[in-house]
């Protein structure tokens, strides 16, 4: 195995970053079940900044263990978060790496918070990245 892992936890969940603002994904693109809203702590790598854990409510299909994030929402959150901390990195490339254990992430909300090592010890990389593609027949799932 040459695969490089970031988080120490075993990889879990599949991930879609949805670039289409008119697709709100109330149904899972893979199994067609209704999706739920669920809050996750996601770990994002941002160019020229590094890693940033971020709390985000995502679309979630429990059957497929699939997390869906709307790109426009995510970028709004990033812009808000970084406009005071590091406005120069807004617009940089980023990649959502995985999910952080909620308990560890919540520590960061009050008090000094976890160290980055602490975060990585409780991070699970995504098993799989999927993408949505539009075709005339509607949404097609592409993996
Ligand atoms: Zn599904």
Residue 23 Cα, ligand 1 centroid: separation in angstroms? 15
Residue 67 Cα, ligand 1 centroid: separation in angstroms? 9
pLDDT on residue 98: 97
Residue 14 Cα, ligand 1 centroid: separation in angstroms? 10
The pTM score is: 0.87
User: What percent of the chain lies above the pLDDT cut of 90?
Assistant: 75
Q: What are phi and psi of 101, to 5 degrees?
A: -50, 125
State the first-to-last Cα distance of the chain, in angstroms, to the nearest integer: 21
CB 29 within 8 A of CB 132: yes
Residue 21 Cα, ligand 1 centroid: separation in angstroms? 20
Q: Has residue 1 got a pLDDT over 50?
A: no
CB 45 within 8 A of CB 93: no
Residue 35 Cα, ligand 1 centroid: separation in angstroms? 7
**d(Cα 91, Cα 106) in Å, to the nearest integer?**
26
């Amino acid at each position: 195995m040459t695969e490089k892992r970031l988080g120490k936890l075993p990889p879990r969940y599949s991930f879609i970053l949805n670039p289409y603002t008119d697709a709100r994904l109330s149904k899972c693109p893979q199994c067609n079940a209704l999706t739920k809203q669920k809050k996750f702590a996601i770990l994002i790598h941002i160019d020229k900044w590094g890693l940033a854990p971020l709390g985000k409510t995502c679309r979630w299909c429990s059957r497929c263990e699939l997390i869906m994030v709307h790109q426009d929402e995510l970028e709004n959150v990033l812009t808000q978060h970084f406009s005071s901390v590091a406005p120069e990195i807004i617009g940089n490339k980023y990649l959502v790496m995985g999910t952080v254990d909620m308990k560890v992430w919540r520590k960061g909300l009050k008090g000094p918070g976890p160290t980055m090592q602490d975060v990585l010890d409780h991070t699970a990389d995504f098993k799989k990245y999927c993408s949505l593609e539009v075709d005339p027949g509607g949404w097609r799932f592409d993996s």
